[in-house]
Amino acid sequence: MATRTFIESIRETLAGEMRRDPATIVLGEDVGRKGGVFLATDGLYAEFGESRVIDTPLTESMIVGVSIGAAANGLRPIAEIQFADFIFPAFNQILSEAARMRYRSNNAFGCPITIRAPYGGGVHGALHHSQSVEAFFTHIPGLKVVVPSTPHDARGLLRSAIRDDDPVLFFEHKKLYRSVRGDVPDREYTIPLGSAAVARPGTQITVVAYGLMTHYALEAADTVDDEGISVEVIDLRSLRPLDRGTLLESVRKTGKCLIVYEDNRFGGYGAEVAAIVAEEAFDYLDGSITRLAGPDVPGVPYNHVLEDWFMVSPAKIADAIRTLAAY
């Protein structure tokens, strides 16, 4: 068992998977000599060489489209999109091509690619370096979407993503890269895609979160615990497939559900969670299904005053918990 930062865990997992399977390649902007703008691929270029660690041109549609083709001819590409904000030039390739290859060919072709992308705000990234983009992808059948929150989960989930036979989007919150450390077992474990974790057991309110928001929810749960409110925090980890069992079991137990996400509120991923709970746990609820999310403005503003205003914080979560507890 070793202690690792979030990004160290990712970096080592990439190296490990590349050692394990010669069909894996890494491609993206600045992933080679520079080792990625966040250094997630640092060292891979030196170890695996420029044919397996490809510094691509500044063209995201190409990064994904070439990955799709390479996968059809026997490789297992791990693409990096430098910031999740810049994934949209590749949206057509992801939605119309990667996600549909298997269904449209009636299983003749698959698309085993992993697309990693740093996401999220609170890092002075402004409108175009702060986005949470998961909702655009969780709506697409044929894709899997993963958002880890700990170094341990990042490793187990990234292994599963790379070994999965379908396209997986793997979103890493930039703020976690260096701020979070945790134990990472030495053994070759995987975490199945589609399994949530009960990050903290509790009895009175379920808080559903993922990524950075899991940490904030845990902080908030600690705060209100002192006030006598027992919170269960569910870390979804995998947004598609979603672990309905763990989610619904918790809500049926507590009867109250707060969903926290950093993305813009309207039409965000939390809407689907709310809709599922409303449909499948209605009889167990004794309070409105509540969402706490980013405001509906086009991106996180740069100035720190406005950025703080935008971001969901542990304090805001604690407040929302208190309100719901008093329902």
Ligand X SMILES: Cc1ncc(C[n+]2csc(CCOP(=O)(O)OP(=O)(O)O)c2C)c(N)n1
- Per-residue H/E/C for the chain: CEEEEHHHHHHHHHHHHHHHCCCEEEEECCCCCCCCCCCCCCCHHHHHCCCCEEECCCCHHHHHHHHHHHHHCCCEEEEECCCHHHCHHHHHHHHHHHCCHHHHCCCCCCCCCEEEEEECCCCCCCCCCCCCCHHHHHCCCCCEEECCCCHHHHHHHHHHHHHCCCCEEEEEECCHHHHCEEEECCCCCCCCCCCCEEEECCCCEEEEECCHHHHHHHHHHHHHHCCCCCEEEEECCEEECCCHHHHHHHHHHHCCEEEEEEEECCCCHHHHHHHHHHHHCHHHCCCCCEEEEECCCCCCCCCHHHHHHHCCCHHHHHHHHHHHHCC
Q: Cβ closer to another protein: 74 or 228? A: 74
Q: Cβ closer to its own copies: 182 or 255? A: 255
Is 206:260 a contact under the CB 8 Å cutoff? no
Residue 278's binding partner, choosing from another protein, its own copies, ligand X, none, with beta-carbon cut-off 5 to 8 A by kind?
its own copies
139 is catalytic: no
Cβ-proximal residue to ligand X, closest one: 86
Upper half-sphere CA count for residue 168 (Cβ side, 13 Å) = 29
Residue 67's binding partner, choosing from ligand X, its own copies, another protein, none, with beta-carbon cut-off 5 to 8 A by kind?
another protein
Place of tokens 């958002």: 147
Instruction: State which of positions 57-86 bind its own copies (CB under 8 A).
Output: 85
- Interaction between residue 89 and ligand X (CB under 6 A): yes
Residue 56's binding partner, choosing from another protein, ligand X, its own copies, none, with beta-carbon cut-off 5 to 8 A by kind?
another protein
Q: Cβ closer to ligand X: 89 or 287? A: 89
Pattern of binders to its own copies over 97-116, x per CB under 8 A?
--xx--xx------------
Rg (the chain; Cα; Å): 19
Cα–Cα distance, 111 to 282 (Å, whole number): 38
Instruction: State which of positions 230-259 bind its own copies (CB under 8 A).
Output: 240
Q: How far is the CB of 56 from another protein (least distance, A)?
A: 7
- Interaction between residue 104 and ligand X (CB under 6 A): no
Is 262:311 a contact under the CB 8 Å cutoff? yes
Q: How far is the CB of 35 from another protein (least distance, A)?
A: 8
Instruction: State which of positions 24-83 bind another protein (CB under 8 A).
Output: 25, 29-30, 32-35, 37, 51-52, 55-59, 61-62, 64-75, 77
| Of positions 267, 275, 303, 327, contacts another protein by CB under 8 A | 303
Q: Among 129, 152, 173, 215, which one carries the catalytic annotation?
A: 129
Q: How many residues line the site for another protein (CB under 8 A)?
A: 73
| Of positions 13, 82, 93, 246, contacts ligand X by CB under 6 A | 82
Q: How many residues line the site for ligand X (CB under 6 A)?
A: 6
Residues marked active site are found at 129
- Interacting residues with its own copies (CB under 8 A): 85, 88-89, 91-92, 95-96, 99-100, 103-104, 127-128, 135-136, 138-142, 240, 264, 266-272, 274-275, 277-280, 282-283, 285, 287-291, 296-299
- Interacting residues with ligand X (CB under 6 A): 29, 58, 60, 82, 86, 89
